Structure formats: C-alpha cells, structure tokens
Amino acid sequence: MPKPRHFLDIDRIPVDTLRNLIHRAIEMKRARKSGEVQPQPLVGRTLTMIFDQPSTRTRVSFDVAMQQLGGYTMMLTGTEMQIGRGETIGDTARVLSRYVEAIMIRILDHGMLLEMAESSSVPVINGMTKQSHPCQVMADLMTFEERKGSITGKTIAWTGDSNNVLASWMHAAAQFDFTMKVATPKEFAPRDALRAWIKKSGAKILLGNDPQWAAAGADCIITDTWVSMGDEKEAARRLNILQSFQVNAALMALAEKDAIFLHCLPAHRGEEVSDEVIDGPQSAVWDEAENRMHIQKAILEWCLT
Ligand code: CP
Ligand code: NVA
C-alpha cells in the first residue's frame, strides 16, 4: 500500500509542493470571497481531530475547512480517549485508520506524532507539538506573500522565546530561501538539536540576543507567547527574563517602513507585544488567523485527493 501523504513538518515536504499549497490557498480564499461555487472534493470523508492541549484557532479553522470541502470532523481529547489509560499511540492510529480518512493531532511530544504517522494508514497532520507548528507557519507565509509578494530573499526578524513556531519558521527559511534574524535571551536560545539542524540545512539563520539588531531593516517582525504550552511551571522566570524582548512601536520603527507584524495568537498583550503594535496598521495578525483556515483547506485537499 502506498504511504499516506502526512503533513508533519515544513522541512519534510518539497518546496514546490509548499508553494503550490500557498497558491492554492490564495485561490480558494479569493473564490470563496467572491461568492463562486466551490468544489467539495472531500464529501463523505472524516477528519478526526485529537487535542491533547487547548486550542481555539486550530480547532475551529480545521473544522470549518473540512466542512467547506464537504467533509466531517470529529473532535477528541487525549483524556477522554484510551490513550489516557495507556493504549499506545500506534495502536490508536491503527484503529482510527479503519474509521476515518485523516487524523489531525495536537500533542506536546513530537515523538508521539511521528509514531502516530508511522502506524497510520491515513494522512496525519501536525496540529502543533512542542517542537513545531507547521500549519501555523504555512498560514504565516501565505499572509506575508499576500501583503508583500514572494518571501524569497526577504529578511524576517524573530524576537522572544525559541519555541515551536520559531522552529517551523526556520524550516521555512531553509525551504523558501529567506534570511532570519533571531533574537532570544541566552536562557531561551535554540537548543543544540535545532542549532545542529540550522548548520546542516545551510539556511540563512542568524542567532543573537538583541531584539534591536534583529528588527533593524526587517521586512517582518514576529513574536509569540513567552510561556508556551508545557512551560507553565516556569512562567514567572520566563516573564522576567524575556521582558526586554517585547515588540513595541520603538522596535517596529527599526524595521522597514512597510514591515508587517505577525503573531500566531493567542497574544498576551503588554507582554510579548504592545497594544499599539498588535492593533496598529502594520499588524497582519487577523489575516494570519483567517489564513489558517484557507491554508488548511489546501493541506487537507493535498493530503486526501
Ligand atoms: N495559533 C494557534 O495554533 O492557536 P490555537 O492554540 O488557538 O489553536
Ligand atoms: N508557542 C505557542 C503556540 C500556541 C499556538 C505554544 O506552544 O503554546
């Protein structure tokens, strides 16, 4: 049997496919907004969504995406499944593959995502792990290109924590050939495995500790929460150390005049981003959130047809 088309990470998929997904999402968004009748290629298909962590955007955008394509969704949480009582993720994948046509899973342990994909005979989509958040960054890339054209050759700044969203952005830098300037405190800098990946990939990723250096001349400034899911125990320490990494008007002013601001949301206003920036004219965060739905329609179509 041929291997299913999983969507696990941006660095595992050929760049031409990634580009096609963005173009397809932009086209589906345009067609929907202009009221054209849309094909429903996924009639009769079911997507199971497993959430072992909370979600607003991922849950709703996948649900609506699947409905617009003619399919169904079913939402499960880790605690109400037998996984919570010790059934292996592999056995869970084998069983679910007999019922549904695709699985989307949000789980902190990236190894468990990979195990699920290994044992599943239907496509598995990464809905976020501690290690990466590829659907989010596909929506981010789409948003950037809608506003500013091709991202290739551009300069993207990241300030704040080194987390899952940043890792997927780094994968994108390698694939789409743009420069990333990343400013994190030493305490929350990319770990050895990610540093080794950067080196091996040859991506234009520059690491530092100064947000002003990262922002200077950037076409886009990105940040994310200082306390990601799973980091709650050290929240106070994080908030303290990361304070000087906030994206505010003074930091935005160092970027290109027409630079945009991105944040995957949920935002913690007054922490990693000031109100004036997230609500300001350079913020693209609401388009970014909307684009989760459009890009995931393209991803579902690619996985399933
Ligand atoms: N950006 C994002 O994944 O949001 P949710 O946690 O609400 O799904
Ligand atoms: N970095 C954040 C992303 C939330 C969508 C987290 O892992 O909690």
Q: Is residue 46 in contact with ligand 1, taking CB distance under 6 Å?
A: no
Q: In 3D, which of 125, 132, 65 has the Cα closest to residue 93?
A: 125
Expressed in angstroms and rounded, the spacing between residue 2 Cα and the centre of ligand 2 is: 33
- Whether the predicted pLDDT of 1 surpasses 80: no
pLDDT attached to residue 149? 98
Stretch (H or E) spanning 181: strand 179-183
In the set 219, 292, 294, 303, the catalytic residue is 292
pLDDT in tens, 11-36: 999 999 999 999 999 999 999 999 99
224 flagged as catalytic:
yes
State the pLDDT at residue 2.
Answer: 81
Give the Cα separation of 172 and 275 in Å (integer). 28
Q: Which ligand is nearest to the CA of 140?
A: 1
Residue 9 has pLDDT above 80, yes or no: yes
**Tokens for 43?**
């009639």
Residue 127: CB partners within 8 Å, gap ≥ 6?
A: 49, 50, 51, 55, 58, 62, 104, 105, 106, 135
295, 25 Cβ separation under 8 angstroms: yes
Q: Tell me if 228 CB under 6 Å of ligand 2.
A: yes
Cis previous bond, 14, omega within 30: no
Let me know if 171 is a catalytic residue: no
